[in-house]
Amino acid sequence: MTAPSSLPALPLSDHAEAVLWLGRDPALAELVARVGPLPVLPPTSDPFGTLVRSVAGQQLSVRAAASIYARLVDRLGEVAPGPLLTAAPDDLRALGLSWAKVRTVRSLAEAAQGGRVDFAHLEALPDEAVIERLTPLPGIGRWTVEMFLMFGLARPDVFSFGDLVLRQELERLHPGATSREAQNEVVRAWSPHRTLAARYLWAEKARRKLAAQAGTVNGDLSLQGPL
């Protein structure tokens, strides 16, 4: 779920206005108060490398994902289309990428090098246009692009119903919203700050997990999300 606009929404410079807007939802306001402030997300200066890093780290722990990406940087010198296409697929596999991920990152590199996707100008496109440009590529689904919009391009009004944790936390926050239509109504009311709302749902999940491990409801948290 993204902003229906012909122009991209600008990244937030602070969260003050967004927190006030989200506070119109009493249940979300209580959650925000429990979690506390989250850091502002800046847009990436390297959209291509950010998306490759996202693909490389999918379904892995943060530590494992960071390790694989560090190996890519060490091996390639720069995570860019040219070095990725020059490297043998077997070499990329040996660095820890699955064969499916090797195919995906090479497809991204081919799209960038061949001009099918201009990564340097994705920031100028509205959310749905970015999704339309990237999802035809092998291994790139809507969820992947929504995460890229949120954490790569720092778009402020994205919510992913393809994310299991977000769906679970939304149901927990608003148990009366049992249908997708009702859930859509809840999330639409958070616009134009749905990205921050999603980050707070992820952060609340992490807060509860930390609290359970520590046996307390206290704890510092600055979760940014799944990327």
Those residues whose C-beta lies under 8 Å from the C-beta of residue 189, and which sit 6 or more positions away, are 24, 25
Among 99, 108, 95, which residue's Cα sits nearest to residue 140? 108
Task: Considering the candidates 74, 90, 163, 220, report the single residue annotated as catalytic.
Answer: 163
User: Are residues 199 and 225 in contact, defined by beta-carbon separation less than 8 angstroms?
Assistant: yes
**Residue with the two structure tokens 């959310």:** 127
CB 114 within 8 A of CB 87: no
The question of whether 163 is a catalytic residue gets the answer yes
d(CA 221, CA 155): 22
Catalytically annotated residues: 163
